[in-house]
Amino acid sequence: MKVRYCSSCVLPDTRPQINFNYENLTCDACLNTVSKKKIDWSERKQLFNDLVKNVKNKKKSYDCIIPVSGGKDSTWQVIVALEHGLHPLCVTWKTPARNVIGAENLQNLIQLGVDHIDFSINPKIEKIFTLKTFEKLGSPVIPMHMALHAIPLQLATKFKIPLILWGENSADEYGGENALKGLKLSHKWLLKYGVTNGTSHLDWIDEDLSEKDLAPYVWPSDEEQNSAGVKAVFLGHYFKWDPQHTFEIAKKFGFKSADEAKTGYYKFADIDDAFLITIHHWMKWYKFGFTRIWDNLSLEIRNKRMKREDAILKIKNMGEELPKSEISLFCKYVNISESRFFEIANSFRNTNIWEINDQGNWYIKNFLIKDWKWIS
């Protein structure tokens, strides 16, 4: 398989869910950026004002749920909600890998003036589930993403809280199916863009994990949500989303970035988790031939803060990223050896794009950077 790269940004056509126009080698994430220039954002803001007015009239208690990690995007979501007079209940899935800066930023978010639920899942179940998903699909974050979507949806449906405010729609920002771009988070969206490899909790029931064990991971159906009067929307549909912009706003309200980028290019993203999200992004290298920095720099190109040639140079200078400390932490968490970790990781190397060269190293045919130093 010949990997092809967007001529506008640096994303490869191996990125999951991305669509390419092969005539001019442009990805749909870049095409979406062009389309967004035609959006009347003042009109979108008025639509949000109308939505707010509608939900405020429905409830005397919480009028919305905001899923939060304490990151810059969820901080921005809370700020927007409070500025529009909403009374949110903030809900967090408590990661077993929460770190110091993540805890501090979450506390900062709560101190903005919100009620908050920090939802902890049975640690024995979470650990079993995480290892299973890593062994079977090469992903340690399926339980994470299943839970962080399920818990707010369950609470909103059970208590008939009319609105859930999510952040950006990844189908818009990173490429995806046209029908799932835009406003609403649906069950179909979760299966395709919810980072669960198209699985739901039902796919993981076995002798180790019962349906009761997996109760926190259950997504209410679209019908159940509709019956409860729940509407789950992306805030990025109403306000132009840009990671640098949301960071600058969050920073004014006390959000702290890291001293250096944890994974990828940004010092303010993916910093609230000690190891799970880093392993997830690193596994993309074996599976798809790119890592988190490619996504980040592509956003910078689209937002006119970087030229494509400069982004390519940054990727080259960074080289292959082996997150040794995070791998060690992950292995301790799921109780496997590092040799077992690499055995599993290598089993997911995509041999449609990877080959072994004369020096015995794996390499990617038609790689974006011709003089790349292959060490995998």
> In the prediction, which pLDDT does 212 show?
98
SS3 of residue 273 by DSSP: strand
Per-residue pLDDT band at 1 (split at 50, 70, 90): confident
Strand-pairing partners, residue 362, are 356
Classify residue 198: in a domain, yes or no: yes
Which residue, 225, 86, 79, 99, is CA-closest to 152? Answer: 225
Classify residue 372: in a domain, yes or no: no
Tokens of 345: 């990781």
> In the prediction, which pLDDT does 222 show?
93
Which residue, 272, 85, 67, 255, is CA-closest to 168? Answer: 67
Classify residue 269: in a domain, yes or no: no
Using the predicted structure, report yes or no on whether residue 45 has a pLDDT greater than 70: yes
> In the prediction, which pLDDT does 59 show?
67
> In the prediction, which pLDDT does 172 show?
82
Number of domains in the chain: 1
Tokens of 155: 């609470």
Least confident residue range of 98-112, 168-182, 242-256: 168-182
SS3 of residue 34 by DSSP: helix
Using the predicted structure, report yes or no on whether residue 376 has a pLDDT greater than 70: no
Classify residue 209: in a domain, yes or no: yes
Tokens of 372: 């790349």
Rounded to whole angstroms, the Cα distance separating 198 from 189 reads 10
pLDDT digits (tens, 9 = 90+) for 280-319: 999 999 999 999 999 999 999 999 999 999 999 999 999 8
Specify the length of the chain in residues: 376
pLDDT digits (tens, 9 = 90+) for 87-98: 999 999 999 999
Classify residue 205: in a domain, yes or no: yes
Rounded to whole angstroms, the Cα distance separating 200 from 146 reads 7
Per-residue pLDDT band at 365 (split at 50, 70, 90): confident
Tokens of 44: 């979108």
The single-letter DSSP state of residue 6 is -
Phi-psi sector, 254: left (phi>0), alpha (psi -120 to 50), beta: left
Range of the domain at 85: 41-237
Using the predicted structure, report yes or no on whether residue 140 has a pLDDT greater than 90: yes
CB distance 346 to 354 below 8 Å: no
Helix axes 324-334, 338-347, angle to 10 degrees: 100
pLDDT digits (tens, 9 = 90+) for 190-242: 999 899 999 999 999 999 999 999 999 999 999 999 999 999 999 999 999 99
Tokens of 276: 């799970």
Using the predicted structure, report yes or no on whether residue 70 has a pLDDT greater than 80: yes
> In the prediction, which pLDDT does 179 show?
65
Give the CATH number for residue 97. 3.40.50.620
Classify residue 202: in a domain, yes or no: yes
Q: What is the mean pLDDT of residues 35-51?
A: 94
Q: According to DSSP H, which parts of 118-177 are helical?
A: 123-137, 142-159, 170-173
Beta carbons within 8 Å of 49's beta carbon, 6+ residues apart: 84
- Angle formed at CA 216 by CA 210 and CA 220, multiple of 5 degrees: 105
Classify residue 29: in a domain, yes or no: no
Classify residue 119: in a domain, yes or no: yes
Using the predicted structure, report yes or no on whether residue 40 has a pLDDT greater than 90: yes
Phi and psi, residue 122, nearest 5°: -40, 115
Phi-psi sector, 186: left (phi>0), alpha (psi -120 to 50), beta: beta
- Angle formed at CA 297 by CA 240 and CA 68, multiple of 5 degrees: 50
> In the prediction, which pLDDT does 57 show?
75
Q: What is the mean pLDDT of residues 56-62?
A: 80
Rounded to whole angstroms, the Cα distance separating 37 from 33 reads 7
Per-residue pLDDT band at 276 (split at 50, 70, 90): very high
CB distance 108 to 254 below 8 Å: yes
Helix then strand then coil, % of the chain, to nearest 5: 45, 10, 45
Rounded to whole angstroms, the Cα distance separating 77 from 257 reads 17
